[in-house]
């Protein structure tokens, strides 16, 4: 079944470490997104990419970077992790050419990241 997968599912790391979160999709969608979710704040957009050559900052990009290695792969990096980056991270995809549900986003299962 076409899907959005994220690795790792859980990660505990220490302040100052470099961390990479990976996202893969088999939906064939061009658009991919990275969000973080915090209690009481909902989902906030970190970065998004509309195709392999396109990268855009979202609402809260400071401290993060991304790489779009292929249509199916979009990675999020924390260059030097800090405790307030502890959160649930979601990758999502969308197809702007879908009929009737433009802008619907399909989410992965999430990565729970703890920075000590």
Q: Site residues (CB under 8 A) for other proteins? A: 4, 33, 35, 39-45, 48, 50, 58, 90, 92, 96, 101-110
Q: Rounded distance, CA 8 to CA 13, Å? A: 12
> CA dist 81 to 15, 16, 93, 110, Å?
5, 5, 25, 18
| Choice between 12 and 41, CB closer to other proteins | 41
Q: Which is nearer to other proteins, 69 or 98 (CB)?
A: 98
- In angstroms, give the least distance from the CB of 80 to other proteins: 27
CB of 93 to other proteins, least distance (A): 11
Say if residues 18 and 113 touch (Cβ distance below 8 Å): no
39 vs 62 by CB, closer to other proteins: 39
Choose between 74 and 90: whose C-beta lies nearer to other proteins. Answer: 90
Strand partners, 77: 20, 65
3-state helix, strand, coil in the chain (%, to 5): 5, 55, 40
Least gap, CB of 56 to other proteins (angstroms): 9
């Amino acid at each position: 079944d076409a899907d959005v997968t994220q690795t790792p599912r859980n990660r505990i790391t220490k302040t100052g470490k470099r961390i990479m979160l990976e996202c893969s999709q088999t939906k064939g969608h061009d658009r991919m997104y990275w969000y973080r979710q915090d209690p009481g704040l909902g989902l906030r957009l970190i970065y998004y990419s509309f195709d392999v050559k396109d990268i855009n900052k979202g609402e809260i990009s400071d401290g993060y970077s991304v790489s779009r290695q292929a249509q199916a792969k979009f990675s999020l990096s924390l260059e030097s992790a800090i405790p307030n980056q502890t959160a649930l991270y979601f990758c999502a995809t969308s197809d702007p050419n879908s009929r009737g549900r433009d802008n619907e986003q399909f989410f992965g299962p999430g990565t729970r990241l703890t920075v000590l």
